[in-house]
């Protein structure tokens, strides 16, 4: 049987509607995350903000438009191509001073920004994740059958200053699963708040396509 071309697969009205919905969701979730950030770590506090798995840089650059200090914003991604693209997008917005670096979050520490204490690891006021924990969880399991994502919560916690925040948006995990995975004595994370996303009802049950949860590290 002849394989369908990529264009054919995505050109049906149903697929187009789904693509439209998901790209609209991408925009809405960025807006909602930005609103949360502005409420909880306002631009006037000059927070150090790091996005883990920053892709093309959309989320971190959206903060720039809300008057966050460009020198304090950073994104890391283990894809060199993603980093290159985010730098190009930043340059087009005359925001070259935002730092985008190639870094595998599970094995490397993100580079310190100027003005950060180089002797400390827990230097970030806020860590953001939109879809990266989901992507990491899809990685190959180790010989013991563990997902690479088991390392993520402690890697995140060690980078955040006491009292700092971790805001994650996931489409693969429920809010309850995120709480179970991230809240522990080892991470020092406590549940802080959540972002409400549009809900749908199917078979008498209602749910949300994605969830966003904020955790705060103990002081």
Ligand X SMILES: C[S@@+](CC[C@H](N)C(=O)[O-])C[C@H]1O[C@@H](n2cnc3c(N)ncnc32)[C@H](O)[C@@H]1O
Residue ranges that bind ligand X, judged by CB under 6 A: 53-55, 58-59, 76-79, 82, 104-106, 130-132, 135-136
Q: Minimum distance from CB of 193 to ligand X (Å)? A: 20
Q: Which residue is nearest to ligand X (CB)?
A: 53
Q: Minimum distance from CB of 173 to ligand X (Å)? A: 13
Nearer to ligand X, 64 or 76 (CB): 76
Residues 40, 214: contact at Cβ < 8 Å? Answer: yes
Nearer to ligand X, 38 or 135 (CB): 135
Nearer to ligand X, 48 or 162 (CB): 48
Q: Minimum distance from CB of 91 to ligand X (Å)? A: 18
10 Å Cβ neighbour count for 55?
Answer: 20
Nearer to ligand X, 130 or 217 (CB): 130
As a three-state string, the secondary structure of 50-85 is: EEECCCCCHHHHHHHCCCCCHHHEEEEECCHHHHHH
Report the DSSP pairing between strands 99-102 and 199-202. unpaired
- Residues 6+ away with beta carbon under 8 Å from 195: 32, 33, 36, 169, 211, 212, 213, 214
Torsion over CA: 68, 70, 76, 81 (sign): positive
Q: Minimum distance from CB of 9 to ligand X (Å)? A: 20
**Tokens for 21?**
């919905």
Nearer to ligand X, 119 or 133 (CB): 133
Nearer to ligand X, 13 or 82 (CB): 82
Q: Minimum distance from CB of 85 to ligand X (Å)? A: 9
Q: What angle, 0 to 180 degrees and rounded to 10, lies between the N-to-C axes of helices 152-159 and 175-182?
A: 70
Q: Minimum distance from CB of 219 to ligand X (Å)? A: 28
For the sheet with 189-195, list strands across it: 99-102, 73-77, 49-52, 124-130, 160-170, 211-217, 189-195
């Amino acid at each position: 049987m002849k394989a369908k071309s990529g264009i054919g697969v995505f050109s049906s009205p149903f697929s187009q509607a789904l693509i439209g919905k998901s790209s609209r969701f991408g925009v809405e979730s960025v807006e909602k995350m930005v609103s949360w950030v502005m409420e909880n770590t306002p631009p006037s506090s000059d927070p150090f903000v790091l996005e883990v798995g920053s892709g093309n840089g959309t989320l971190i650059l959206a903060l720039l438009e809300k008057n966050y200090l460009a020198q304090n914003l950073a994104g890391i991604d283990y894809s060199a191509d993603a980093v290159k693209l985010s730098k190009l997008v930043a340059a087009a917005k005359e925001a070259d001073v935002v730092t985008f670096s190639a870094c595998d979050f599970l094995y490397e520490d993100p580079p310190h920004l100027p003005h950060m204490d180089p002797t400390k690891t827990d230097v970030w006021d806020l860590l953001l994740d939109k879809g990266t924990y989901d992507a990491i969880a899809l990685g190959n399991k180790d010989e013991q059958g563990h997902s690479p994502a088991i390392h993520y919560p402690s890697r995140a916690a060690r980078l955040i200053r006491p009292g700092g925040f971790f805001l994650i948006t996931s489409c693969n995990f429920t809010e309850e699963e995120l709480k179970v995975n991230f809240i522990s004595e080892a991470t020092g994370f406590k549940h802080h708040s959540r972002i409400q996303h549009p809900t749908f009802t199917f078979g008498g049950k209602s749910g949300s396509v994605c969830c966003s949860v904020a955790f705060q590290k103990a002081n």
